[in-house]
Structure 1
Amino acid sequence: MPEHSPSPTPERAIYGFVLYLGAYLGLVVYLVWAYLPDSWLHAVGLTYWPQKYWGCGCAIYCCVLILLVYIPLPGGNLLSTPDLTSSNSFTGERAMLSDLKYCLWFCIKEYITPVLCKINMQSIKVIKQFLHSSVPPLRDMCLSDVSEQLYGSTINPS
């Protein structure tokens, strides 16, 4: 099995080189057509060309199209993003905050009494052995959990 590398395969390199040459050839043909007078082109035998208007019109059309695509799309994204003070910026309707396994893992981890978890002591021992040897389930973390992980416990008895 060959090792993957960031360099293109020989076939792709050839296609890229041909595309590079074709782009420059197209630019040269466009500039010759746009700037040389029609009489010179007719003298060489090139008589079937679009009007010179299209040389300027297509370029302006492409520039305006780029402006209409690259300004409204990011602007629309910025308008649909909630404020930093909004609770929707750190949670949403599709957030998976926790499930039963995480609830039990949290109950055992934080040494909450079995009465609050509503399970008996034998189940706690079995679940505790399983959960301490397993990885907690993937989920979206609560903002308070993130703050506790980053800054430690912030509860100050006053």
Structure 2
Amino acid sequence: MSEHSPAPTPARAVYGFALFLLSHTLFIIYLIYAYVPKSILEDKLGLYYLPDKYFALIIPVLFLVCLTLFAFFIYPSINLMMTPRIDQLETITDKYQIFRCNYINKEGKMCDNLIENCRDEHWNTEKYCKYHNTEYHNIDRQNFTPEVFCDCPKSLVCLLKENPDHLNTLQNRNRIPAVRDLDIADVFDEMFN
């Protein structure tokens, strides 16, 4: 099956030329119908059953009114119906959002590990990373390997595999605070007050 493409083809050229001729022919017939007096159309051309000349004016005006109503009312209304409400989380999140683990230790420090497999249909499918998930609570913390929550895109060049002490170096650095979800009402209060 051939791939669909907007490129010109011989069939499209024929259709385009036929539509060009048809539109010009219909426009010329419309101009003749609108401007030539009714007596000439009836006596010389024998056209007795034509609609009233009133339709030559009202149909284009009706078309322009409908186009204006669609452009300024119907089309924006459809877009507003498809847009999530301002207080829904979908207005500021998408499927590529990075989620952090919600685990808080005894000192009140939040976990900085990434949550894996959270790209499902709903935004909050996972709450904890593998390290803090229920199935990993009973593992031996001394023999815990960083590979469980390593999020390196290429495991062959992962620094944690090459140098296990690199994790301690990373943990001793000053970290950027994890991204938190903001209440949209608080954001608007800060912006407009």
Q: Which has the higher contact order (CA 8 A, sep 6+)?
A: 1
Q: CA deviation at 1:5?
A: 5.3
Of 90, 93, 96, the residue aligned with 2:92 is 90
Contact 1:114 / 1:120 at 8 angstroms: preserved in 2? no
Q: CA deviation at 1:56?
A: 1.0
TM-score by length of 1: 0.57
Q: Deviations over 1:101-144 (max 9, x none)?
A: x833xx5xxxxx79995252567566357x54679xxxxxxxxx
- What is the alpha-carbon distance in structure 2 between the residues aligned to residue 114 and residue 70 of structure 1? 51
Q: Deviations over 1:23-75 (max 9, x none)?
A: 11101100110011112222432423211011112112111111221211244
* Cα 1:123/1:114, change in 2 over 3 Å: farther
Amino acid of the residue matched to residue 23 of structure 2?
A
- Note the 1:1-158 alignment, pairs <5 A: 6-47=6-47, 48-77=49-78, 80=81, 81=83, 82-83=85-86, 86=87, 88=89, 89-91=91-93, 96-97=122-123, 99=125, 103-104=129-130, 107=131, 118=137, 120-121=139-140, 127-128=148-149, 132=152, 153=176
* Cα 1:87/1:154, change in 2 over 3 Å: farther
Contact 1:114 / 1:124 at 8 angstroms: preserved in 2? no
- Give the number of the structure whose residues are more often helix, by fraction: 1
- What is the alpha-carbon distance in structure 2 between the residues aligned to residue 99 and residue 115 of structure 1? 14
- What is the alpha-carbon distance in structure 1 between the residues aligned to residue 41 and residue 133 of structure 2? 92
> What is the percent sequence identity of the aligned residues?
26
Gaps of 5+ in 1: 108-112, 136-151
Gaps of 5+ in 2: 95-119, 156-174, 179-193
* Cα 1:153/1:126, change in 2 over 3 Å: closer
* Cα 1:154/1:44, change in 2 over 3 Å: farther
Amino acid of the residue matched to residue 59 of structure 1?
P
* Cα 1:126/1:21, change in 2 over 3 Å: same
* Cα 1:72/1:3, change in 2 over 3 Å: closer
